[in-house]
């Protein structure tokens, strides 16, 4: 039985197409993916992302614990956030996540909805020797994202916090739309925007306030369909598509979130250090479709008759008007400008390796 978020009734009343996703019944779209995508690129949209998981990590060893558990460095200042992967000893990715440092000894870790149970078990399996207080607040927490070039104008109407001074990947705790909230300048769209974490029971009021405040900017509710095209257009990876337990951060070109330059010990370090030195056998790349159509997840990539890779995410990029994909290719085929062919329903379509992001005009701060 799928869980409902606090905003389930809002979505149904808005006429959303609801589908099962990661154990939740979620809005896929309210109108069309294209229209919602464009609203976020050109104006502002609001998302219910309450399916995401939230773990609170508190205690005097919180920083040391997260350093061991996650590949990125936990020593950011309170008020800052960081993106990281969490890996198995063999380097495979358990999940990718965002970590907000709330204070010296308190962090909030945001994990993918599909991985909440797996992550929670993994985190709890590694607590020996650390003085910690861990809580899984996923069911009590709602997450509403306001994204788009007009996001700040909307959000500023709803809080006294100085949002104009809040930088990308910074956050503050305060009152938002009359409710206690964590207000973060983060997102998954390539646009400027905020993610508002509130209590489950406050979510409806916050949602209504955002819709009302956004009215003058033409705010639209955005479903998971457009969330996927928005993230793909700016080359953000999606766990389950572009990475999983069989891929390492180095292969996924997430080496920048692996703290190999520090001497800190962390799970998977040995494998990643070796891979970083020897170079992996495959890489994730961005591919642009030259011509019509687009390959989807699972489409095979060829150079002549030789199979050299596989597409992990593929879609039409609504803001660009052509197909784009993320794909794994063998070492040697990752260089910008490499021309390959993707097999789509028995036909070959030409694709070319390009630099990410595909869409370069994002308003992200």
Partner 1 sequence: MSNIPEGLRYTDSHEWVKDMGSGEYKMGLTFYAQEQMGEIVMVEFPGMLDFSSGDILGSLEAVKTAEDFYAPFDCKVVKINEGLEDEPALINENPYEKGWLVVVKTDDPSRYNSLMDAEKYSEFIGE
Which chain residues interact with partner 1 by CB under 8 A?
29, 32-34, 225, 292-294, 296, 315-316, 318, 323, 344-345
- Residue 39 CB, nearest approach to partner 1 (Å): 15
Give the nearest distance from C-beta 323 to partner 1 in angstroms. Answer: 8
Nearer to partner 1, 112 or 315 (CB): 315
As measured in angstroms, the least distance from the Cβ of 52 to partner 1 is: 22
Q: Which is nearer to partner 1, 161 or 228 (CB)?
A: 228
- Output the DSSP codes for 284-347: EEEEEESSS----TT-EEEETTEEEEEEEEEEEETTTTEEEEEEEEETTS-STT-EEEEEETTE
CB of 17 to partner 1, least distance (A): 9
For residues 321 and 337, which CB has a smaller minimum distance to partner 1 in the complex?
Answer: 321
CA distance 13 to 101: 36
> 102 or 349, CB closer to partner 1?
349
Task: Annotate 76-92 with b (16+ C-beta within 10 A) or e (fewer).
Answer: beebebbbbbbbeeebb
Which residues make Cβ contacts (< 8 Å) with residue 236, sequence separation at least 6?
188, 190
- Give the nearer residue to partner 1 in terms of CB position, either 148 or 314: 314
Least distance to partner 1, CB of residue 97, Å? 27
Q: How far apart are CA 152 and CA 363, in angstroms?
A: 11
């Amino acid at each position: 039985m799928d869980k409902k978020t606090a905003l389930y009734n809002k979505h149904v009343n808005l006429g959303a197409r609801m589908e099962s996703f990661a154990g939740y019944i979620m809005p896929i779209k309210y109108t069309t993916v294209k229209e919602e995508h464009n609203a976020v690129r050109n104006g502002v949209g609001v998302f219910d992302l309450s399916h995401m998981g939230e773990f609170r990590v508190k205690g005097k060893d919180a920083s040391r614990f997260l350093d061991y558990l996650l590949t990125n460095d936990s020593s950011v200042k309170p008020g800052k956030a960081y993106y990281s992967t969490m890996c198995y000893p063999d380097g495979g990715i358990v999940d990718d996540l965002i970590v907000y440092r709330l204070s010296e000894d308190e962090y909030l870790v945001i994990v993918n909805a599909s991985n909440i149970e797996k992550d929670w078990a993994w985190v709890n399996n590694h607590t020996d020797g650390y003085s910690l207080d861990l809580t899984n607040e996923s069911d009590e927490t709602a997450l509403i994202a306001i994204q788009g070039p007009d996001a700040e104008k909307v959000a500023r109407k709803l809080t006294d916090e100085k949002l104009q001074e809040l930088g990308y990947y910074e956050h503050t705790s305060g009152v938002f739309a009359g409710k206690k909230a964590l207000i973060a300048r983060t997102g998954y769209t390539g646009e400027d925007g905020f993610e508002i974490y509130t209590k489950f029971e406050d979510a409806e009021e916050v949602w209504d306030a955002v819709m009302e405040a956004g009215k003058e900017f033409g705010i639209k509710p955005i479903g998971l369909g457009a969330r996927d095209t928005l993230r793909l257009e700016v080359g953000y990876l999606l766990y389950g598509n572009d990475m999983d337990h069989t891929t390492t951060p180095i292969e996924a070109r997430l080496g920048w979130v692996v703290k190999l330059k520090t001497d800190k010990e962390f799970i998977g370090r040995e494998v990643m250090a070796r891979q970083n030195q020897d170079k992996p056998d495959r890489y994730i790349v961005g591919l642009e479709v030259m011509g019509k159509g687009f390959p989807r997840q699972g489409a095979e990539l060829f150079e002549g008759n030789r199979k050299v890779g596989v597409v992990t995410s593929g879609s039409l990029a609504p803001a660009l008007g052509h197909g784009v994909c993320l794909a794994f290719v063998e070492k040697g085929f990752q260089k910008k400008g490499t021309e390959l062919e993707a097999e789509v329903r028995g036909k070959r379509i030409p694709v070319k390796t390009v630099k990410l992001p595909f869409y370069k005009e994002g308003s992200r701060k």
